[in-house]
C-alpha cells in the first residue's frame, strides 16, 4: 500500500492514508498533541479529526495561535447555541462567530433573554462540556442541506445556504443531537472548553441590516484556563469603570441625545477639554511648518465624482440638493484641501506645502454600530494634506512619523505600526501602487521602525501607514494614519512650475495624528479614567474654604488664578471640608486649595493633589508658578 508522507515540526513519517491529523501529530510530535486545538495542513486551518490522504506538512495550532483561539471560541458559540435550543426549542439560529476576545450567537426568539436566562444557558453549557461531545463534520449537497434546514424551520440557515456561491462546499457540524451549518474548523470535542463566561445580551439586526428583523445576540468569552478567564473578567470590569460614556455623564463633558443619534453634544467642560487639545495640536503643527485652512462642509456632487468618493464611498455619504443641483456633505477633507491648493499656481520653491485642517466630516454609520464618541456619524478629523515634489516623499513621511510620535509621547501612549496595501476596489495601476508602497516602506525602514503588513486594507487611492496606540489597559486604537497618494493629483490635474519652467505633477500625503477628535477624547477619558493631566482638566483647581469666614479670601485666590489663566472655582457650599474634598476627588480635579484662618493669616493655601494627597502650604504666587510650569510643559503620565 502506498503511504503518505507527513512532516510536523521538523519530524517526518509515513502513514497509511486515512490517519487523522491528531493521530499524526501524536506520533510525530507528542508534546504538541496535548495542546493542539486545530492544525494547518499545507497552510490551511483544519480540524484535528481531518483525515490525511496525501503528502502534507502539518502544524499544530494551540491557544497561543490566533487560529487556535478562534476555533475554541467558535466551538463555545456552538455549545451555547446547543444549550439555547435545549432550553428554548422555538429559538431560531442565525450566526455565531468567534470575535476578538470572545464569541457571540444571534437568535430569533419571541421574548428577549433575561439575566436569569443567561444563568440557565450557562449551566446547560457546562453539562454539554462535561459530556465531552465530539464535533463531527459532514459535507452535504446544497439541495440536501437546504432541505434539512427547511425541515427544521431554520429560515436563517436556509438564507445563508442560498447566498453561498454555486461551487461552495456545504458543511455541517454536529455535537450530540445538535447540528449547525458551519465552515469550521472546530476543536475535537466540547471537553476542550475549560473556561467560559456569558457576558451580555444585545439586540442585533439580521445581517446588520436596519431594515431586517431584530435578533437577540448573546456575547460570551472563553479562555484556555480559569485564571486567564478571571484576569480577562477583571479587565472587563476595569474597562466598564472607565467607560467614557459613564465618565462623560459623571463629569458633565458630553451627552448623546435621541434627537441626534450618532451626533454628540459637547457641554461646557467638554469644550474646555476639546479646546485645550486643539490648541496643543495647533501649536505642534505650527512648529512643524503647517498652515491651517478651513474648507466647506457641503460641496458639489461633481467634486465627489471627480475625487472617486462617489464610486468608492457613496454608501457612507449624506446628500442634499441646492438650487436643483446635487451636493454632498463631506465624508473626508481631502477634496477641499485640493481645491485650496488648486486655487492658485505654485512654484517648486514652495513645496512641500503643508495644509492642516480641523475638518468636520459626516459619515453614515449603521445605528447598531454607534458607540459613544468612539463610533459617531459626525466627527472632526485633524487632517493635513502635504503637496510635495517626488524627491521629497521620504523626508516628508519621516517628518509626519516624528510629529505623530511626539504627540503620542505627551499622552504617554505606546503604539504599533501597520502598513496597509492595495485594496480590491483601488483606483490606479499596480505600478503606481507598488511605487507608493515602496516609498512608505523606505521611510519606515530608514526610521528603524518595526511594522507589520496589513494586506488589502489601504485607502482606495493609496497605501497607508496606520498607528495603533495602546492605552493603559493594553487595548489598541487606530488613530494616526499616513496615506501616500499619486492618484488624486492626477484626477484633479494638480501641478507646480518646476525648476525648468515647465508644469509637473506633485505628490500628495493625506495624514492625521489624533484621527477623530471625538474618538481621541473618548480614548483619553478611558485612558485616564477621567483624571486628566492638569493642562487638559476642565477645572484645574478647586478652592475649599473651611467656613464662610474664608469665602472672601477664597474668591481673592480664585481671581489671582484666573488672571494667571488657571481654571479655578470656589466651593462655597455650607458643607464640611471633608465632604468638599471627597466631591473634588470624585470630579477628578487635579488640585484642591484648602483655606482656613491660618492660611489667611499667613497669606498661603494648603495644597492637596488628587493622587498625591497633602502637599503642604504654599503662597499663592508660588503655587501659581509651580502649576503654571506643569501646565506649560504638558506634563502627563500613563492612565490611572
Question: What mean pLDDT value characterizes the chain?
Answer: 93
DSSP H helical ranges for 382-487: 393-410, 430-446
Count: domains in the chain: 4
Residue 249 lies in a domain: no
Residues 505 and 596 in one domain: no
d(CA 44, CA 32): 18
Residues 144 and 224 in one domain: yes
3-state secondary structure of 302: helix
Sequence-distant (6+) residues with CB within 8 A of 175 are: 78, 79, 82, 128, 133, 134, 135, 136, 189, 190
Q: Residues 52, 80: contact at Cβ < 8 Å?
A: no
DSSP state of 391: G
Q: Which CATH number does the domain housing residue 29 bear?
A: 3.10.20.30
- Asked about 634 being catalytic, the answer comes back as no
Residues 197 and 84 in one domain: yes
What pLDDT score was predicted for residue 566?
97
For residue 438, pLDDT beyond 50: yes
Residues 231 and 177 in one domain: yes
Q: Residues 618, 608: contact at Cβ < 8 Å?
A: no
Phi first, then psi: what are they for 24, rounded to 5°? Answer: -65, -45
Residues 50 and 81 in one domain: no
d(CA 61, CA 246): 40
Q: Which CATH number does the domain housing residue 548 bear?
A: 3.40.50.800
Residues 298 and 366 in one domain: yes
What pLDDT score was predicted for residue 1?
64
Which residues does residue 380 pair with via DSSP β-bridges, in sequence order? 360
d(CA 187, CA 67): 11
For residue 639, pLDDT beyond 50: no
Residue 247 lies in a domain: no
User: Sign (positive/negative) of CA torsion 587, 592, 597, 600?
Assistant: negative
For residue 264, pLDDT beyond 70: yes
Q: Output the 3-class SS for 115-142.
A: HHHHHHHHHHHHHHHHCCCECEEEEECH
Low-confidence winner among 163-172, 277-286, 395-404, 579-588 (lowest mean pLDDT):
163-172
What pLDDT score was predicted for residue 312?
82
Given the residues 186, 269, 309, 510, the one annotated as active site? 510
Given the residues 86, 381, 483, 540, the one annotated as active site? 381
Q: Residues 440, 451: contact at Cβ < 8 Å?
A: no
Given the residues 69, 285, 377, 464, the one annotated as active site? 464
For residue 640, pLDDT beyond 50: no
User: Sign (positive/negative) of CA torsion 174, 178, 182, 184?
Assistant: negative
DSSP state of 397: H
Residue 638 lies in a domain: no
What pLDDT score was predicted for residue 301?
93
Q: Output the 3-class SS for 16-70.
A: CCCEEHHHHHHHHCHHHHCCCCEEEECCEEECCCCEECCCEEEEEECCCCHHHHH
Residue 640 lies in a domain: no
Q: What is the pTM (predicted TM-score) of this model?
A: 0.86
Sequence-distant (6+) residues with CB within 8 A of 533 are: 590, 634, 635, 636, 637
3-state secondary structure of 164: coil
Residues 504 and 564 in one domain: no
Residues 416 and 334 in one domain: yes
Question: Which one, of 504, 498, 579, 503, lies nearest residue 542 by Cα?
Answer: 579
Question: For 351-366, what is the mean pLDDT?
Answer: 94
Residue 271 lies in a domain: yes
- Asked about 346 being catalytic, the answer comes back as no
Residue 140 lies in a domain: yes
388-437 per-position pLDDT tens digit: 999 999 999 999 999 999 999 999 898 999 998 888 877 778 888 888 88
For residue 458, pLDDT beyond 90: no
Question: For 242-265, what is the mean pLDDT?
Answer: 95
- Asked about 182 being catalytic, the answer comes back as no
When pLDDT is cut at 50, 70 and 90, the band that residue 386 belongs to is very high
Residues 316 and 391 in one domain: yes
Q: What share of the chain is helix, strand, coil (3-state, %, to 5)?
A: 40, 30, 30
Residues 146 and 265 in one domain: no
Q: Output the 3-class SS for 254-266.
A: EECCCCCCCCCEE
Given the residues 47, 65, 117, 383, the one annotated as active site? 383
Q: Is the peptide bond before 310 cis (omega within 30 degrees of 0)?
A: no
Q: Which three cell numbers stand for residue 49?
A: 479529526
Q: Residues 571, 543: contact at Cβ < 8 Å?
A: yes
Please report which helix (H) or strand (E) contains residue 12, including its range: strand 11-15
- Asked about 363 being catalytic, the answer comes back as yes
Q: Which CATH number does the domain housing residue 173 bear?
A: 3.30.980.10
566-597 per-position pLDDT tens digit: 999 999 999 999 999 999 999 999 999 999 99
Q: Which residue has the higher pLDDT, 22 or 463?
A: 22
- Asked about 334 being catalytic, the answer comes back as yes
Q: Which three cell numbers stand for residue 558?
A: 480664585
Residues 82 and 44 in one domain: no
Residue 246 lies in a domain: no
Task: Among 208, 241, 274, identify where a domain stops.
Answer: 241
Task: Among 241, 275, 302, identify where a domain stops.
Answer: 241
206-245 per-position pLDDT tens digit: 988 888 999 999 999 999 999 999 999 999 999 999 999 9
What pLDDT score was predicted for residue 615?
95
For residue 606, pLDDT beyond 90: yes
479-490 per-position pLDDT tens digit: 999 998 888 899
18-56 per-position pLDDT tens digit: 999 999 999 999 988 899 999 999 989 999 999 999 999
Question: Which one, of 378, 400, 477, lies nearest residue 444 by Cα?
Answer: 400
Residue 392 lies in a domain: yes
When pLDDT is cut at 50, 70 and 90, the band that residue 528 belongs to is very high
When pLDDT is cut at 50, 70 and 90, the band that residue 176 belongs to is very high
DSSP state of 495: -
Task: Among 213, 241, 269, identify where a domain stops.
Answer: 241
Given the residues 69, 385, 519, 527, the one annotated as active site? 385
3-state secondary structure of 629: helix
Residues 200 and 328 in one domain: no
Sequence-distant (6+) residues with CB within 8 A of 357 are: 292, 293, 294, 295, 333, 336, 337, 381, 383, 384, 385
- Asked about 510 being catalytic, the answer comes back as yes
Q: Which three cell numbers stand for residue 227?
A: 485564571
Q: Which three cell numbers stand for residue 88?
A: 428554548
Q: Which three cell numbers stand for residue 156?
A: 436563517
Question: Which one, of 66, 52, 73, lies nearest residue 186 by Cα?
Answer: 73
Please give the residue range of the domain that contains residue 158.
67-241
d(CA 459, CA 312): 10
Q: Which CATH number does the domain housing residue 401 bear?
A: 3.30.930.10
Question: Which one, of 219, 220, 221, 225, lies nearest residue 194 by Cα?
Answer: 225
Q: Which three cell numbers stand for residue 614?
A: 497633602
Question: Which one, of 281, 286, 252, 204, lies nearest residue 480 by Cα?
Answer: 281
Amino acid at each position: 500500500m502506498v503511504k503518505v508522507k507527513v512532516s510536523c515540526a521538523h519530524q517526518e513519517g509515513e502513514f497509511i492514508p486515512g490517519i487523522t491529523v491528531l493521530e499524526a501529530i501524536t506520533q510525530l510530535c507528542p508534546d504538541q498533541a496535548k495542546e493542539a486545538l486545530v492544525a494547518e495542513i499545507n497552510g490551511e486551518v483544519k480540524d484535528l479529526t481531518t483525515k490525511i490522504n496525501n503528502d502534507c506538512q502539518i502544524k499544530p495550532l494551540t491557544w497561543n495561535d490566533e487560529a487556535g483561539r478562534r476555533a475554541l471560541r467558535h466551538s463555545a458559540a456552538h455549545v451555547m447555541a446547543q444549550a439555547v435550543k435545549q432550553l428554548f426549542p422555538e429559538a431560531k439560529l442565525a450566526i455565531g462567530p468567534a470575535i476578538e476576545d470572545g464569541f457571540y450567537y444571534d437568535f430569533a426568539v419571541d421574548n428577549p433573554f433575561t439575566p436569569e436566562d443567561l444563568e440557565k444557558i450557562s449551566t446547560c453549557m457546562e453539562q454539554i462540556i462535561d459530556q465531552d461531545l465530539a464535533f463531527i463534520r459532514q459535507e452535504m449537497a446544497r439541495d440536501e442541506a437546504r432541505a434539512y434546514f427547511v425541515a427544521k424551520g431554520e429560515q436563517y440557515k436556509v438564507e445563508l445556504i442560498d447566498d453561498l456561491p454555486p461551487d461552495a462546499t456545504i458543511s455541517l457540524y454536529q455535537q450530540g443531537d445538535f447540528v449547525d451549518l458551519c465552515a469550521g474548523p472546530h476543536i475535537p470535542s466540547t471537553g476542550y472548553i475549560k473556561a467560559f463566561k456569558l457576558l451580555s445580551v444585545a439586540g442585533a439586526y439580521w445581517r446588520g441590516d436596519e431594515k431586517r428583523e431584530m435578533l437577540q445576540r448573546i456575547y460570551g468569552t472563553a479562555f484556555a484556563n480559569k485564571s486567564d478567564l478571571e484576569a480577562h473578567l477583571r479587565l472587563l470590569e476595569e474597562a466598564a469603570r472607565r467607560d467614557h460614556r459613564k465618565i462623560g455623564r459623571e463629569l458633565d463633558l458630553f451627552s448623546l441625545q435621541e434627537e441626534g443619534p450618532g451626533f454628540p453634544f459637547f457641554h461646557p467642560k467638554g469644550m474646555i477639554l476639546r479646546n485645550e487639545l486643539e490648541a496643543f495640536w495647533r501649536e505642534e503643527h505650527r512648529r512643524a511648518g503647517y498652515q491651517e485652512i478651513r474648507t466647506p462642509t457641503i460641496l458639489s456632487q461633481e467634486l465627489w465624482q471627480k475625487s472617486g468618493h462617489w464610486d468608492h464611498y457613496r454608501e457612507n455619504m449624506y446628500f442634499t440638493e441646492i438650487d436643483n443641483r446635487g451636493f454632498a456633505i463631506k465624508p473626508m477633507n481631502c477634496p477641499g484641501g485640493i481645491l485650496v491648493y488648486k486655487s492658485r499656481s505654485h512654484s517648486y520653491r514652495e513645496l512641500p506645502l503643508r495644509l492642516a485642517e480641523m475638518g468636520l466630516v459626516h459619515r453614515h454609520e449603521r445605528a447598531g454600530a454607534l458607540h459613544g464618541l468612539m463610533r459617531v456619524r459626525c466627527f472632526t478629523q485633524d487632517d493635513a494634506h502635504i503637496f510635495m515634489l517626488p524627491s521629497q516623499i521620504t523626508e516628508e513621511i519621516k517628518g509626519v512619523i516624528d510629529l505623530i510620535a511626539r504627540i503620542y509621547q505627551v499622552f504617554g501612549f505606546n503604539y504599533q505600526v501597520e502598513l496597509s496595501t492595495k485594496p480590491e476596489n483601488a483606483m490606479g495601476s499596480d505600478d503606481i501602487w507598488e511605487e507608493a508602497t515602496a516609498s512608505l516602506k523606505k521611510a519606515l525602514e530608514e526610521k528603524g521602525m518595526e511594522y507589520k503588513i496589513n494586506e488589502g486594507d489601504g485607502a482606495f487611492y493609496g497605501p497607508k501607514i496606520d498607528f495603533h496606540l495602546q492605552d493603559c489597559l493594553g487595548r489598541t486604537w487606530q488613530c494616526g494614519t499616513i496615506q501616500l497618494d499619486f492618484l488624486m493629483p492626477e484626477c484633479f490635474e494638480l501641478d507646480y512650475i518646476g525648476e525648468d519652467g515647465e508644469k509637473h505633477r506633485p505628490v500628495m500625503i493625506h495624514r492625521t495624528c489624533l484621527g477623530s477628535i471625538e474618538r481621541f477624547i473618548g480614548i483619553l477619558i478611558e485612558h485616564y479614567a477621567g483624571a486628566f493631566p492638569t493642562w487638559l482638566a476642565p477645572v484645574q483647581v478647586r478652592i475649599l474654604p473651611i467656613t464662610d469666614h474664608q469665602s472672601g479670601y477664597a474668591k481673592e485666590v480664585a481671581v489671582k488664578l484666573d488672571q494667571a489663566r488657571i481654571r479655578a472655582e470656589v466651593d462655597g457650599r455650607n458643607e464640611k471640608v471633608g465632604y468638599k474634598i471627597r466631591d473634588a476627588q470624585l470630579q477628578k480635579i487635579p488640585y484642591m486649595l484648602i483655606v482656613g484662618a491660618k492660611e489667611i493669616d499667613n497669606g498661603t493655601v494648603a495644597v492637596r493633589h488628587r493622587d498625591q494627597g497633602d502637599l503642604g502650604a504654599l503662597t499663592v504666587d508660588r503655587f501659581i508658578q509651580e502649576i503654571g510650569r506643569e501646565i506649560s510643559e504638558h506634563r502627563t503620565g500613563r492612565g490611572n
